[in-house]
Amino acid sequence: MGIRIGVLALQGAFSEHIDAFKLALQVLDPPGHSSVIPVRHADEIPDLHGLAIPGGESTTISRLIDKNQMRRPIEEFEGGIFATCAGMVLMATEVDDSRIRTLGLIEMNVERNAFGRQRESFETDLVINGFDTPYHAIFIRAPVVTSCGPRVEIISKIEKGIVAVRKDRHYAIAFHPELSTDPRIHIRFIQGLGV
């Protein structure tokens, strides 16, 4: 039996995540027993091993999660969650915007749009714990973690703050690994699912 990854396809960069996970699975599972699907309905979530919450507009994604009755299935999901940019905001226990109803799945405080607007987007090479070489990261209206709980592992940080964390099988990443040609972060997430 293969690995089943779902990408929340309500708003944001979900198609790029689907492509990135397909690439990672080709590296890990050459015969093609695994699958990646767009997730638009709550009843699709429980059968997955992993779920990605992509970047996009965090207030919009938060509203759409509730509108599509996905909040409880995500909060109770037993697999791993791979959250990027806006997804990181949604995973937090605290965020600096009262319009966002977070999922509270990783004990962390997040500053939304910490680097400014779209024109302040940037790329940089990051040190990622566990990687032998730097990871080229793309930041677009990115958040940062300003503090996190004792059970949260900090994977990467820069001068502005923490930009990647892990708690159990959940990952929250401020940048956009789905826009990179480097599959290492997606591979690491999949390997941590324990399937």
Q: What's the rounded Cα separation, in Å, for the pair 115 and 121? A: 7
Q: List the catalytic residue out of 16, 49, 178, 186.
A: 178
Q: Please, which residues have CB within 8 angstroms of residue 65's CB and are 6 or more apart in sequence?
A: 8, 10, 71, 74, 90, 103
- Give yes or no: 85 in active site: yes
Q: Please, which residues have CB within 8 angstroms of residue 36's CB and are 6 or more apart in sequence?
A: 5, 6, 7, 18, 21, 22, 25
- Give yes or no: 17 in active site: no
**What sign results for the dihedral spanned by CA atoms 79, 80, 86, 92?**
positive
SS3 state of residue 112: coil
Q: What's the rounded Cα separation, in Å, for the pair 42 and 21? A: 21
Q: What's the rounded Cα separation, in Å, for the pair 176 and 44? A: 24
Q: List the catalytic residue out of 85, 111, 148, 186.
A: 85
Q: Please, which residues have CB within 8 angstroms of residue 91's CB and are 6 or more apart in sequence?
A: 53, 81, 83, 102, 103, 104, 105, 106, 108, 170, 172
- Give yes or no: 107 in active site: no
Question: Are 36 and 80 within 8 A, CB to CB?
Answer: no
Q: List the catalytic residue out of 17, 49, 170, 176.
A: 176
Q: Which residues are known catalytic residues?
A: 85, 176, 178
